[in-house]
Amino acid sequence: MVPPPLPSIAGHPASFGALPRAFFAKPAQQVAPELIGCRLVKRQPTGELLWGVIVETEAYSQSGPACHGHRRRSPQNETLFGEPGHFYVYVSYGIHHCVKRARLSTTSGWA
């Protein structure tokens, strides 16, 4: 199934195709609101597309206890410390699949 087109809003990331990795290299506080309305799409091994529309975002500092990279770097959160544009997916409360995007930074550690 092909996702239906989203309304085109001039200048909004949802109006375009795949976002370039450079888009994710900006501070999380700037990227988070710009992701609202964008589609997150994953091609399954069968070729089928799994997708959803981003409806809520948050931005965390690595120094904040809500950040999954706050306490330590581990195999489970390694993606947070990688190149911009990679995603860290986890399940919250056993039912919600949540996504955090990596933000490589030597100064802020935003994730």
pLDDT tens for each residue of 1-52: 555 555 444 444 444 578 888 888 888 888 888 888 888 888 889 988 888 8
Q: pTM of the predicted model, to two decimals? A: 0.64
Average pLDDT over residues 61-84: 78
pLDDT of residue 45: 92
Would you call 111 exposed, middle or buried from its count of C-beta atoms within 10 A (0-12, 13-18, 19+)? buried
CATH topology of domain 13-101: 3-methyladenine DNA Glycosylase; Chain A (3.10.300)
Record the tokens describing residue 47, joined without a space.
Answer: 């070729």
Is residue 103 classed as helix, strand or coil in its secondary structure? coil
| Annotated domain spans of the chain | 13-101
Closest by CA to 90, choosing from 104, 106, 71, 69, is 69
Looking from the CA of 88 toward its CB, the CA atoms found within 13 Å total 21
pLDDT of residue 4: 56
pLDDT of residue 5: 56
CB 27 within 8 A of CB 110: yes
Average pLDDT across the chain, whole number: 74
